[in-house]
Structure 1
Amino acid sequence: MIIRKLILLTTINPTRAVIFRRHVHVITFQQQLRIFHMSEIPVKHLLLGNFRRCTTVALASYSTFNKNLLENKINSGVKKNFNYTTMDPFLEMCLAQPDTTDNLNDAIGENYTDDIKLNVNSLAQKHHYGMTRRRYKDIRQWKSIEQESTTINVDTDFILRILSYNILAQNLLETHSYIYKHHNFDALDWNIRKVLVQQEIIEAGANVICIQEMQKAHLHEFLVPFLKDGYDYLYKKRTNDTEDGLLLLYRNNQLKLEDYEFVEYHQTSSDILNRDNVGIVVKFSLKDNPNTYVVISTTHLLYNPKRNDVRLAQTQILFSELERIAFNKNTKNGPKYHPIILCGDFNLQPFTGVYKFITEGSFEYSGKGRSLEASGFRRLSNSLIPSSLCITDNCQHFNVLAKRLRGFGTNKVMLKRSESGSDKSKKKNDLDSCSANEEVDINSTQYQKIKIIDGQYAAFASGAITHPFKLNSVYKHVNHKGEMEATTHQDEWITVDYIFFTDVEPLNHYALPTVSECQTLPLIPNFVVGSDHLCLGATFKLKKKNSTR
């Protein structure tokens, strides 16, 4: 018996000139030629996990909190406060089996609105290549972060669940279709992916949902089930001729929008800040406790793997807005900030330069290469971003800091903003001097140290940057066996998505698979996972402030 492999190039969609490779395996046995496999997917992917037994039994589970958290940690008052719901029954199934169609239709028809029903009749004929909903759920469970039980009191604690998800804008998928040439072509359809993404988000039962790569043309259709379910939203498209952006959804019966800022990283014509990435920073108060605040931010940084210097500069811009909006008061020990949760697609790997800056609070970039590693080529100078933006090396707006400490001044933010037609437009196409007395030399790339008040200084172009927050990552990126977790596939399975936090207590998180587990799964997106990223989630305990009224 001889096994042979052929590759057949097939045009799948003539109007888009998309060509797929079909892997054809044939057996020569007793002088007869028989085809035993033909697919866009190599046979090794088909064999992985295909021996898991499929069933047609509908199962139900809880998704708002895991079972232990429900039974051991939350009293009935907290359950009512969080408004948790039972997850819709789901079917462990292999969609190649047509006999599961009726059961899946019943489950979705009874528990989902018409806006997010799957077209099961067509999906049921597609191959999952070993991926089932049950198998995915076995890997992606909500797991407690601390081993010890945490007591939650509805009178003093607010339970905040946040979800972060890069959902893969359809226009980017089609523009870079070569990346998905080994995927099941039908699984890349937006109408299929949209439902899967919506389903996973809704099942999580989050108070706040942060989405990256939300295509503007698809925004309103995507929002339908969330608006019906009591969410409000903010949307910020990337600048210039881009089609996608950031979407932040929040439950308006629990959270009140106090302040927000759309952050644009395209600030200059220079190479370091001429990219169209954006961020959102939002300050919320609790509806039932107006003195309790939390600041939530999401962003999507530059993709280019070689330009960590650009991502560092973008992070400095974002943190200056975080510092401004999260500031609470000055104390003898320094400024005090409201609790902060920061999430998104940072396009950087754990423990690299920008990650260290976020989690350690400082980073020296001068003399390093664009990768932020030691390099003899294109070394960075002592100046990262232009002084004309008046953002200090401690990620603070100079004018805001000066007025805060002196009690007078312009309080003017020098960042450009392109929005128009609202009270948040604040469009600035000119770069005036930072303050009336021109304390900052906005044309200089040399080190500056400016006294604000006795003992308080602002530095520019020092070759290093710092920030005042003590941020931790919800995910530790390495499990107890030393295996790395992954959130997406970029030539290899890696982590680029994060949730950072400070001054809130993490309770549980939406577990990520390890790299080795990912290698046994079919490529994403597929008919179970609707994006090329895995979503992240975490539940926090936020301490309520005592009322002063």
Structure 2
Amino acid sequence: MGCHAASWLCAPMPTATTTTGSSKFYKSTTIFCCINSPADSTHPSPSVSTGSSSRRWYNPLKKRPLDQPPEIVRHWIDSNHPFPSQETFTVVSYNILGDRNAFKHRDLYSNVPFSYMKWDHRRRVICNEIIGRNPDIVCLQEVDKYFDLVSIMEKEGYAGSYKRRTGDTVDGCAMFWKAEKFRLLEGECIEFKQYGLRDNVAQLSLFEMCEDESRKLLVGNIHVLYNPSRGDVKLGQIRFLSSRAHILSEKWGNVPVVLAGDFNSTPQSAMYQFLSSSELNIMLYDRRELSGQRNCHPAQVFDVEREISSSFILMDRFLKGCWTDEEVKVATGNADCHVVVHPLKLKSSYATVKSSTRTRGFNGEPLATSYHSKFLGTVDYLWYSDGVVPTRVLDTLPVDILRGLGGLPCREVGSDHLALISEFAFAQGTEEGNNMTSMVT
């Protein structure tokens, strides 16, 4: 049946009346139906019945229900190993996305509603999440509103410290700890610029437990340089932080170490290998590919496109990264040494506490801790040394849930990163090691 045979179906129909004085006015609404054209009358669409009694109607003026965003649910994953002691503590590592960076790089958040980008909203969501998890130590990166945070955290019983980056940037690293549980014995702030390693900074804090002075802990907090092309600087920053942490740990009797932060390196990268194995022969790698960041465009992860072309990637196809003497010195500390080392024996808490393949990659690390329009992958970690062991971790989100969100921040996540949270227990023998403090001169 063509439209000429059913023109009455498309005619305006009175749907409501409005009275003004003695006159009545009718509002008209056009109703449409799905009709096969004459050319298709012999081959009706399988989705539309040709029987008059079952013809399906469609009103374009009726709104379809909006797709609901996926629910954000994160679960605690317990370790399979028994707790070595009853004394536990919880550490958070969280890049909270600096307010200035959020609007300076607005193109990264084109899929995020503007209201979710405002600092007032993000501050409330970030603080509610942190306080709701009730951690003992909180390590934050990309903090440019420290006094907004400290006023809230102090009311919850936390003490804090802050180190702003050098140069023109206004963000930095912040650390908070429960004053009733930990006492700060010594703190050190590292300005990497003093060592020719750019404007990034790091923090080291030596704590003892208030109820058991024999239990001591060194916590580091770092935001490694972002620039994917400067693998030499990234290695130099991690090498220097690890060296300082080792010295401070030995000073206080070989206390256990936890390093938190945004390391701007993926689990498949040479940088990750350096952190987990303590050494790396830099001559086996292109310094511009050390971090693995260039292989994490969302289209690559979602397999929408097999390859993402950019000026940087196209250039790398034709240019092989060579190491200059200066770059070797920045990475290893010695222009004549091609193997960079660090003195700590580190393991990742998330790689140690296993979870399902929905949230974890082949080496046990989360599939993604950060998501915006140009990146989907893992760059955040909680590393630990001998003397403590992870007892549980707060699992991250499956990639399909992140894809449904379209990007971070969102209503329930205040940053373009996910907070990493691990609970640790002191290992047996830690107390004896800490008692060596009296031998330190």
TM-score, length basis structure 2? 0.71
Q: Does 1:181 align with 2:114?
A: no
Mapped to 1, the partners of 2:159 and 2:240 lie a distance apart of 26
- Structure 1 residue 381, shift from structure 2 partner: 4.4
- CA gap 1:368/1:182 in 2 versus in 1, 3 angstroms: same
Mapped to 2, the partners of 1:369 and 1:150 lie a distance apart of 42
Q: Does 1:356 align with 2:264?
A: no
Q: Does 1:144 align with 2:26?
A: no
Structure 2 partner of 1:423: none
- Structure 1 residue 151, shift from structure 2 partner: 6.2
Unaligned runs of 5+ in 2: 1-30, 36-57, 291-315, 362-366
Task: Choose the corresponding residue for 1:528, options 374, 398, 412.
Answer: 412
Task: Choose the corresponding residue for 1:247, options 156, 170, 174.
Answer: 174
Q: Which has the larger share of helix?
A: 2
Mapped to 1, the partners of 2:237 and 2:194 lie a distance apart of 10
- Structure 1 residue 35, shift from structure 2 partner: 6.4
Task: Choose the corresponding residue for 1:195, options 93, 118, 124.
Answer: 124
Task: Choose the corresponding residue for 1:281, options 199, 204, 217.
Answer: 204
Mapped to 2, the partners of 1:372 and 1:172 lie a distance apart of 24
Residue by residue over 1:260-312, the C-alpha shift from the partner in whole angstroms, topping out at 9 and shown as x without a partner, is 1111222366xxx2x21111111112222223321100101111233322211
Residue by residue over 1:217-241, the C-alpha shift from the partner in whole angstroms, topping out at 9 and shown as x without a partner, is x222222221112211110001111
Structure 1 partner of 2:340: 465
Mapped to 1, the partners of 2:111 and 2:271 lie a distance apart of 32
Aligned-partner residue type, residue 545 of structure 1: E
Mapped to 2, the partners of 1:36 and 1:240 lie a distance apart of 56
1:183 and 1:525 in contact (8 A); partners too: yes
Mapped to 2, the partners of 1:472 and 1:309 lie a distance apart of 22
Mapped to 1, the partners of 2:118 and 2:335 lie a distance apart of 52
Matching of residues 261-340 of structure 1 within 5 Å = 261-267=188-194, 273=197, 275-328=198-251, 337-340=254-257
* Larger RCO (CA within 8 A; separation ≥ 6): 2
2:221 and 2:260 in contact (8 A); partners too: yes
Matching of residues 398-477 of structure 1 within 5 Å = 446-447=335-336, 462-476=337-351
Structure 1 partner of 2:298: none
Aligned-partner residue type, residue 348 of structure 2: S
- Structure 1 residue 351, shift from structure 2 partner: 2.9
- CA gap 1:372/1:527 in 2 versus in 1, 3 angstroms: closer
1:474 and 1:501 in contact (8 A); partners too: yes
Residue by residue over 1:131-167, the C-alpha shift from the partner in whole angstroms, topping out at 9 and shown as x without a partner, is 4xxx312xx1121022x543644xxxx2110011111
Matching of residues 152-231 of structure 1 within 5 Å = 152-153=85-86, 158-215=87-144, 218-231=145-158
Residue by residue over 1:150-204, the C-alpha shift from the partner in whole angstroms, topping out at 9 and shown as x without a partner, is 3644xxxx21100111111111111111111221111111111110000000011
- Secondary structure in structure 2 of the residue aligned to 1:476: helix
Aligned-partner residue type, residue 302 of structure 1: L
- Structure 1 residue 545, shift from structure 2 partner: 1.9
Provide the aligned length of Structure 1 versus Structure 2. 346
- CA gap 1:499/1:36 in 2 versus in 1, 3 angstroms: farther
Residue by residue over 1:374-422, the C-alpha shift from the partner in whole angstroms, topping out at 9 and shown as x without a partner, is 99623124664648xxx976xxxxxxxxxxxxxxxxxxxxxxxxxxxxx
Aligned-partner residue type, residue 306 of structure 1: S
Structure 2 partner of 1:497: 380
2:94 and 2:417 in contact (8 A); partners too: yes
Mapped to 1, the partners of 2:406 and 2:63 lie a distance apart of 17
1:261 and 1:321 in contact (8 A); partners too: no
Percentage of matched positions with identical amino acids = 26
- Secondary structure in structure 1 of the residue aligned to 2:199: coil
Aligned-partner residue type, residue 378 of structure 2: T
Aligned-partner residue type, residue 496 of structure 1: V
2:218 and 2:257 in contact (8 A); partners too: yes
1:383 and 1:463 in contact (8 A); partners too: no
2:172 and 2:201 in contact (8 A); partners too: yes
Task: Choose the corresponding residue for 1:343, options 256, 260, 263.
Answer: 260
TM-score, length basis structure 1? 0.58
1:295 and 1:341 in contact (8 A); partners too: yes
Aligned-partner residue type, residue 83 of structure 2: T
Q: Which has the larger radius of gyration?
A: 2
Unaligned runs of 5+ in 1: 1-26, 51-129, 330-335, 394-444, 448-461
